[in-house]
């Protein structure tokens, strides 16, 4: 293996997976919601943010809609 490599001749190109990357946003959630997902994530040994993402993705895939009845 060489001690140094010359990358100056390489052409740059766009990341083909850039459209698939997650987008960072800010959500304001109630503490009990965060604690619920943290506990559930701990049971399943995955990060709680990944669990929330999986839950929301499942809602999207199954076209789930929240029933809001303000009467």
- pLDDT higher at 2 or 41: 41
Please state the domain count of the chain: 1
Give pLDDT, residue 32: 98
pTM: 0.68
Is 13 among the domain residues? Answer: no
Q: What is the pLDDT of residues 14-71, one digit of tens each?
A: 888 888 888 889 999 999 999 999 999 999 999 999 999 999 999 999 999 988 888 7
Is 35 among the domain residues? Answer: yes
- Name the nearest CA neighbour of 53 among 63, 64, 41: 41
Is 12 among the domain residues? Answer: no
Structural domain boundaries enclosing 34:
29-61
Place of tokens 């929301």: 56
Place of tokens 């960072």: 24
Is 66 among the domain residues? Answer: no
Give 1's pLDDT tier (boundaries 50, 70, 90): confident
């Amino acid at each position: 293996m060489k001690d140094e490599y010359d990358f100056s001749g390489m052409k740059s190109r766009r990341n083909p997976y850039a459209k698939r990357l997650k987008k960072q946003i800010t959500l304001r959630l109630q503490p009990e919601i965060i604690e619920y997902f943290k506990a559930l994530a701990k049971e399943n040994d995955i990060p709680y943010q990944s669990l929330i993402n999986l839950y929301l993705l499942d809602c999207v895939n199954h076209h789930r809609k929240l029933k809001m009845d303000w009467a």
